[in-house]
Structure 1
Amino acid sequence: MTPSHSSAVSRRNVLAGAAALAGAATVAGGVPAQADEHPGRGDGHGVHDGKAVVFRDVRPFGTGRSVDLVVENGRISDRPAPRGAKVVEGRGRAVLPSLIDAHIHPDKTTWGGKWVTRKPANSIADYVAQDVELFNSQTRSVAERAYGLMGHAVARGTRAMRAHADVAPAYDLAGVEGLGTAREKLKHALDVQIVAFPQHGVIRTPGTKELLEEAARTGAVDFIGGIDPGGFDQAPVEQLDVLFAIADRHGVGLDIHLHDRGERGLAALRGIIERTRALSLHGKVTVSHVFCVPELDDAQLAQYGKQMGELGISLTTVAPSADLVLPIAKLREYGVHVGLGSDGIRDSWSPFGNADMFDRAHKMGWVTDVRLDEELTACFTAAADGGADVMGLPHADLAPGAPADFVVLDAECVPQVVVDTPARDLVVHGGVIVARDGELVR
């Protein structure tokens, strides 16, 4: 997205300025069953229909010879398919893992509604004010809008997402409740973690910390969030103290937006590291965007990377521009999990976005100017394995025992998929077809 030609600055510049596969497959024996591309609807992980399904004549990761992929109890199996198993004809098409959206804001979206004309904005505060105006103007509930967007994400090959919902006195917990309703309706097709996100600030907006406490206490959310403790909230110590105390009391995780750059951003990152260590919250903390990290030299990156890796602190990026994409390969060397996300989709912040993680992997390759096959594959891996690591989910790597979460599509190989983003003909979740030809199977 390029900056506006008006006097206002773009969302990207506001955020930056505010911060101033390979896999294994199994070959089944002959299966005495009638071929069917429409097996019965199951209920995803843990609530699948328990039936075995064979996806016949498919090419895992698009390369090599065709195989018959056997699924039992929602997972890839290395055993011959049992007699009477359902058969889905792959017709030589590729099978790839479905992807994970590690950072998305479905509560804000106008997806499926009328066009929204956006006004100039020059600061995060301006965007926040426009969030409230847009929220109050909507005739559809958060649940309806979020369900439409999240269902679309499923149809485009998303298996799981971490969804942020604004929490502030202006909304109370409407966003959290709406996402909870949408999550329940899609539980057969999508794994969802919900974050109570204090977009208006934790300290600067009275009443917000009480709402975060309530969301965590009632079990409505899996995580509570934060935003720029030193920049936007102007409370670098107090915000983190409040957030970590709530997380510690109620056993929820933390996912903190950090757009601040330079020393202000690093000070917040150090505060997060220190509190994660002190409260033994290993593996329960994520920092999103983290614009201060791409600026680090090798020595600084090693210093922070090793600490985050040791404490299980994960990071997410939405690949907004080349200079703000996290150095994923280097961070992984230090044991830091990095996921890729969509961020806001057609909301007050931006008219763009489509909740398609195959497209997001493509955009990541585009903005970082990748060229080689291994570089393109790394973009796909960030959206597949990286997102799974951030969310604490097993890799859907098509290996025996892996969750049967994958897409069937006409493609040659992973790099070509990242470049061309071909249509996802079938989307499978827990061994059950949940979307076909771009539409949910309800």
Structure 2
Amino acid sequence: MRYIPITDADRAEMLARVGVADVDQLYADVPAGKLLDGLLDLPRAKGELEVERHLARLAAKNVSASSVPFFVGAGAYKHHVPATVDHLIQRSEFLTSYTPYQPEITQGTLQVLFEFQTQVAHLTGMEVANASMYDGSTGTAEAVLMAHRITRRTKAVLSGGLHPHYAEVVKTTSDMAGDTVVALAADPTGTEDILAAIDATTSCVVVQSPSVFGRLIDLKPIAEKAHAVGALLIAVFTEVVSLGAIEPPGAQGADIVVGEGQSLGNPLTFGGPYVGLFATRSKYVRQMPGRLCGETVDAEGRRGFVLTLSTREQHIRREKATSNICTNSGLCALAFTIHATLLGEAGLTRLAALNHEAAVKLADRLAAVPGVGVLNDTFFNEFTIRVPGDAAAIVERLAARGVLGGVPVSRLAPTAGLDDLIIVAATEINTDDDRAAYATALKEVLSC
């Protein structure tokens, strides 16, 4: 029997205070089809050994990203993570604590976060970065809220090249806050006129580059139009390695830069945990969510680190907080920092070049397959192809032949009417044999 420490009277009092009649009303925003109707169809009890064997059988059905030619991206990327990273993050002097409630005692944690912030600021071309967010999608939603606080407006314009999952997180957060979101239609060909959507009521414009379709976006004219009407430009990325090759968003006029740092130091891990990167200009630092670590000296003049700014509700009055984030992705940020340190500036630039080279070679091979077209005229390590037929079915048939060929756009944006598009990613892990296997398998699938 479960022990439930509240009585019916306690529950009734809490519901009355919240202002709902019953517990079910707390889930009113969850679509009805997503709610469970009754218990899961699972046995009431199983022995530990039986459970282990059953889960092992289920796990065996998965195809490891390292065991087959792998070209899946769309926000999460397979890169080589040096064994040094895993070794170092498990050392006691580096392994980060959950949340340092007496932060200055944990100098190791603060120094790592300070170095992390420095790296993110350099990569994005911004003046200040925080000590990480949960991931890129929630970081984007926080950036929109931050822009609303700065501009005192409540309308966000989302580019059609923004990852649909990121857009959905922004919409959910904005809906709860009563803000307005203008989301442009999916833009695989790079033809949207986002400048026309910016007006004097716009708080911020959210643009992803490279876009979810892989297209590189010139942010400068968008920044100029946004600034002309008093709005901010939020630049988003999902592939941080791209910053080793392209002009940083800060140099293109972005006011807030946010993205996903998973590509450095962090494996795919079935979608998380990941690490959100967040940077801005110093004049906006007091509106930045999360935490900020700074460098100082102690009473004896020795170098030290302090928690300089923490605007989350655990540390200050809730009504003054800029975010309800309760922690940062500390261990993932540590892995990011170690990998970035091992690479250095020259190493990251070389890694970016290898990624672009791999993507160009793959695009050339796939474009030679009859019936296949590459949509992009610009890309980093990811691009979109058009196939004759249902892309989702083609991806499944490729998987049956031992090639994980990408992400069908219909999986990310099922209502966009782009059922013949596949987003394909290539990184430094892909070999010539992998690319040949993809092209051969795709040719076979399309000829069936």
Asked if Structure 1 and Structure 2 have the same fold, meaning a TM-score greater than 0.5 normalized by the shorter chain, the answer is: no
Larger strand percent:
1
TM-score (norm 1): 0.29
Larger helix percent:
2
TM-score (norm 2): 0.29
